[in-house]
Structure 1
Amino acid sequence: MSSALRIARVARPAVANVQVARFSIASRMMAAGDTGATRSGGAASGDAFSKREEASENLYVKRHEQEKLEQLRQKVKAGEAQLAKDKADLDKAQNIPVHGPDGCLNAGSSKNERTNRQPDRPHIESPMPPLESIFKSFSGTWKLHRSLTSALPGFPSGTFTGTATFKPHSAFDSLSLLYHETGELVTEQGYKLLANRKYIYRFSPDDEKISIWFVKEPAPDENEEVDYLFHELEFSLLDQRWIAKGDHLCEKDMYWAFYDFRLDNNMEKWGLRYKVKGPQKDYLSDSAYERVA
């Protein structure tokens, strides 16, 4: 073999064996119930299933709304019952206390009872109350007896006995009296507690009003300062005696005050009732004052 032929054979490129992968393509058949599969029965069957699901959801929502509506009805019914009870308690508290022969307080007659006793009594305009006379009659020392009746276990029921004094004070010039009570509270459980309280009573001739004011705490003797208004008295004449009422909202607790004044013999006795109603308080306080000096 010639050298030229050998060179030609060497220069020929080598061809490598190439293996070609073969792929098989086949469509996948989905069974009924598979995700993405057409429901048995076709599109119409799918629409029917969706409608059943929607109807079931609507029924659940409707039942849930009915349950909530029934709960609201029960709350309204309970609220109406509580409102009726509170109104009855207030009507009961508004029976102004009057003095019995022993100096203690007895429940006053209701408006209906007074009307039944004197159905034909003509209406007479009430005269102006003798505010200055009543205010001056407070001055002095009083024996104090108080009964507390609580409807809640967290607030004690019991009896308070002690003394109360009214002394001139400079809080509102010369027309102010410092009220100071001290005594002992004996609860129904037998516990004994010492208690004291101070208020400022004010007579305003310009406004023709008697008002009661809180005293700042602590309240050292002879240096008491006025804090804020407790209530003003609104007077009316009932069975030949002067009565007065006032009210005060202390946060969520409502206080109704009812006074009973007898001006015979320089007002030797008078009474005070508080009806207190709130989330933490529900009690009646009846106080009888009898002059000592």
Structure 2
Amino acid sequence: MSRPLNQSDLIFPTQALSISSTLTSLKRSALSTHNRLSSIKSDAEFVASVSEAFGLPLVANERCGSWYIPPEKKAESVYFKSTDGHTNEWKFSLRRLNLQLLDLVGNRGGCVIVDSTRRGKSMPDALSKTVPIWCCVINHALFADTEAHRLHTQPQAVSASEHAQIENRIKGFVCDFLDICKPDVGLLRSKIDKPLRPIWVTQKSSLPEQPPFFSEFHPVILCTASRRVNGAEGSEGGYVQGAADDHEAWSKGLLPTLFWSNMDQLLNTKEEDLPGLIAQLIRDENRPAATPILIKPTSNLYISSSQDMDISHFDVIINCGPKPLPGQVTEPPKPQGQKHHLWLECQTGKNGSRNLRDQLWRLRILEDWLGPEPTAAKILVCDPTGKDLAVGVVLAILSNYSSPEGVLAFSSRFDDDTKIALRPQPDKRLIKERLSWITTTHPTLSPPRETLKSVNAYLMSTNGEQARQNQKYKSHEGDSSNDRILTFGARKPAKATTHLPPDTHARIFTALRNKGRPWKLSRQLTSKLESHPSGTVQGTATFTLLKTDPPTLLYAEEGEFETTTGLRFTVRRKYIYILRQEDDSSHISVYFSEEGKDVGALFVEMGDLAALGDASSTLTAQNKEQHLCGQDLYSASWRFSQAMLQERSQWGELRSYWMLRYDVKGPKKDYVSETTYT
């Protein structure tokens, strides 16, 4: 008797798996490196025909556009981001002004901007919305006395509703451009004598037989290089729409210049041999030495990659990277008249951007090296690419030390004795203005978001904030010269203080470890926003020794959070405490903990400890700098009992405890967290 059928007999799992694997293999084959390069070559031929038909030069919208233009035919580069044209995110970017395009348009009568998009769309948002917004804003700014202000968008790509919503924002974009960037309108107007007008071209467009003449405007031809594919990746016989997009994911290190100089060899090589050939071409490439770029309107601040850079012509060299430059010294400043070297030790990528936040304070050494008077010293800032960390450092220098005319003078922002601000703290408007100087100088100098966040955190939360607080309290009637150490959140200055020996931080650090025994913690969290609950936390915290050089402790807490609404849940967090010791002093830094025990970005750093009153009861400290997380500002203050300074055998009946308070202010957070450890 035969057995009955069961579920596995009906599903055919082996065959189903084979079909899935086959489809995945076919998709991978269709998107092969060879197919991508062949598609790029085909699309580049169309791009060349557009340039010839309109008689206009080719401009690459980086990074994708450069793949479709041979280097000898690329007249300029621009950076228009598709994200600036996304629905409800429309904007005129003050980071990417692309004003260098006006020189080319004025000299050649117009241009062809080249970009592409992947399967599913006919053209990228950068061409359908971002560039039209840019053209409209420029027209408003330069031709305010004419009627050439209308926003032009591609009807097939932008609905009437979306067009109207974008148009409503144009006035605000123009105001931001004029007020924050402060462009020289007369100079820009001298470059072009007619307004700009976008015109869209795809592979379905009909091209003119003879280059047309445009009497009323300068044409900005927006060319989508790739043709639209309606089916799956394998439906076009090996053609890949938008083949050059996100080249880091498929090119194996190949870049447009190397592709064009070796195109025939690459296209005549089998797919399985391409990785080896590309690796060999990269090894054999003769890269030119880096050329420094002068940041305008300054006359002596330069930026460059550190690749084979000749530093002999510069007086000050600031290197941001994982390694010092060959022969670079990092010791105290040399005598007057000799070169000065400053190495800001940072990794590459996002980790480097986080490292930069902890390094930027060292730029104050420039005040000692160059002095408060306007300087002609040539300053070079470099990193491995010349487009990331170095741009952040240049932005910090311009925001702190440059006049509105671009003259550099390295005067101290604070009086060393009183810590009172001597000149205004950089605000968002000034930072945006200085950033526009950089991006206008060269379109490639547009730093990543993480780098900008680190620079903003440094500029917006550096000692100037504390200086203003001190200045505010000092102005109170009846304050004495000793009333400068404040308990954060207090409404009036604390009582007179007594300063402590330089090893006090080290003794506190040892006491925090508590020989591995847990601290009992009790926390009160009071929030002013309904989106963040108030409540209490009861739990424990331990400090575990990770290493002794420098002394490093892992802080780990666990407790139960009970909200004022009655909810209960477990909370956990970890930080890294490091004791930084110098010749005659020490201080404690608190870092975020990544993956359990790895040191992340700096969170808060404990300032000088002082004893209130007669130095017999309580020690206090505040953070050296406030921590900016997004747009939320964190401030920290500590209190320690005097028992923390005694040997454990001497504690006896003395009460050992410490307290930590965070005040958090910002658009998304507004709360106070007070924790007592016993």
TM-score when normalising by structure 2: 0.24
Counterpart check, 1:279 vs 2:677:
no
- Correspondent of 2:508 among 134, 155, 167: 134
Picking from 254, 262, 274, the partner of 2:641 is 262
Q: 1:1-293 counterparts in 2 under 5 A?
A: 96=487, 110-111=492-493, 114=495, 127-128=501-502, 130-140=504-514, 141-170=518-547, 173=549, 175-206=551-582, 208-216=586-594, 218-219=595-596, 224-235=597-608, 236-239=610-613, 240=615, 241-246=618-623, 247-264=626-643, 265=646, 266=648, 268-290=656-678
Q: Distance in 2 between matches of 1:131 and 1:161?
A: 27
- Measured in 1, the distance between the counterparts of 2:550 and 2:500 equals 29
Give the distance between the partners of 1:158 and 1:95, measured in 2 at CA. 26
- TM-fit CA distance, 1:95: 6.7
Instruction: Give a deviation string over 1:216-271, Cα, whole Å, max 9, x none.
Output: 1x42xxxx111111111112332223211112111111001000011325572010
Instruction: Find the aligned partners of 2:579 and 2:636 in 1 and give their Cα distance.
Output: 18
Letter in 1 for 2:642: L
Question: What's the C-alpha RMSD, in Å, of the aligned pairs?
Answer: 2.8
Contact 2:580–2:588 at 8 Å: present in 1 too? yes
SS at match of 1:131: helix
AA at the equivalent of 1:283 = Y
Counting aligned pairs with the same residue, the percent is: 36
* Alignment CA distance shift 1:284-1:173 (3 Å): same
Distance 1:200 1:242 in 2: 22
Spell out structure 1 runs of 4+ moving beyond 3 A.
94-97, 107-110, 123-129
Structure 1 unaligned blocks of 5 or more: 1-86, 98-106, 116-122
Aligned residue number for residue 77 of structure 2: none
Q: In 2, are the aligned partners of 1:213 and 1:231 still within 8 Å (CA)?
A: yes
Matched letter for residue 577 of structure 2: Y
Aligned with 1:234: secondary structure? coil
Change (3 A) 1:188 1:168: same
**Structure 2 vs 1, CA of residues 145 and 262 (structure 1 numbering), >3 Å: closer, same or farther?**
same
Deviation at 1:125, TM superposition (A): 6.0
Q: Which amino acid aligns with 2:536?
A: T
- Give the deviation of 1:158 after TM superposition: 0.2
Provide closer, same or farther for how the CA distance between residues 250 and 109 of structure 1 changes in structure 2, counting only shifts above 3 A.
closer
Alignment-mate amino acid for residue 554 of structure 2:
L
Q: In structure 1, what is the Cα distance between the partners aligned to 2:675 and 2:503?
A: 22
2-side partners of 1:166 and 1:269: how far apart? 15
124 and 186 in structure 1: CA distance in 2 versus 1, 3 angstrom threshold: closer
Is the partner of 1:111 in helix, strand or coil? coil
Larger gyration radius, structure 1 or structure 2? 1
- Which residue of structure 2 lines up, in the alignment, with residue 46 of structure 1? none
| CA distance 1:242–1:193, shift in 2 (3 Å) | same
Greater Cα shift, 257-266 or 152-161: 257-266
- Contact persistence 1:134–1:263 (CA under 8 A): no
User: Could you tell me which amino acid in structure 2 is paired with residue 285 of structure 1?
Assistant: S
- What SS does structure 1 have at the residue aligned with 2:642? coil
More helix by share: 2
Q: Could you tell me how far apart the structure 2 residues matched to 1:146 and 1:183 are?
A: 10
Deviation for aligned residue 1:190: 0.3
- AA matched with 2:526: T
Q: Name the SS of the counterpart of 2:677 in structure 1.
A: strand
Q: Give, in whole Å, the separation in 1 of the partners of 2:499 and 2:553.
A: 31
Quote the Cα distance in structure 1 between the aligned partners of 2:534 and 2:677: 19
| AA in 2 matched with 1:128 | P
In structure 1, give the amino acid aligned to 2:487. Answer: I
Deviation of 1:96 after TM superposition, in Å, equals 3.4
Distance change in 2, residues 1:155/1:174 (3 Å): same
C-alpha contact 1:129 1:242 (8 A) present in aligned 2: no
Q: Give the C-alpha shift of residue 173 in structure 1.
A: 3.1
Q: Secondary structure at the match of 1:136?
A: helix
| Structure 1 residue 169, shift from structure 2 partner | 0.9
Q: Structure 1 pair 162/124, CA: closer, same or farther in 2 (3 Å)?
A: closer
Q: Answer whether contact 2:498 2:611 (CA < 8 A) is retained.
A: no
Give the counterpart letter for 1:149 in structure 2: T
Question: How far did residue 192 of structure 1 move?
Answer: 0.4
The one-character-per-residue Cα deviations of 1:18-47 (angstroms, maximum 9, x if unpaired) are xxxxxxxxxxxxxxxxxxxxxxxxxxxxxx
SS at match of 1:138: helix
One-letter amino acid matched to 1:163 = T
Task: For 2:525 and 2:486, locate their aligned partners in 1 and report how far apart those are by CA, in whole Å.
Answer: 16
Counterpart-to-counterpart distance in 2, 1:253 and 1:154: 15
User: Contact 2:502/2:586 (CA < 8 Å) preserved in 1?
Assistant: no
Change (3 A) 1:215 1:127: same
Separation in 2, partners of 1:149, 1:178: 27
Deviation at 1:205, TM superposition (A): 1.3
Matched residues in 1 for 2:500 and 2:671: separation? 32
In the alignment, is the contact (CA less than 8 A) between 2:543 and 2:556 conserved in 1? yes
Taking the aligned partners of 1:155 and 1:165, their CA distance within structure 2 comes to: 26
Equivalent AA in structure 2 for residue 227 of structure 1: G
Distance 1:144 1:109 in 2: 26
Aligned-partner Cα distance in 2 for 1:168–1:109: 38
Q: Matches of 1:242 and 1:129 in 2, distance apart?
A: 14
Paired residue total: 177
Measured after TM superposition, the shift of residue 174 of structure 1 is: 5.3
CA contact (8 A) 1:272 1:287 kept: yes
- The structure in which a higher percent of residues are strand is 1
2:636, 2:663 within 8 Å by CA — same for their partners in 1? yes
- Which AA in structure 2 matches 1:205? Q
Which residue identity lines up with residue 200 of structure 1 in the other structure?
Answer: I
Whether contact under 8 Å (1:168, 1:174) holds in the other structure is no
Say if 1:95 and 1:109, in contact at 8 Å, map to a contact too: no
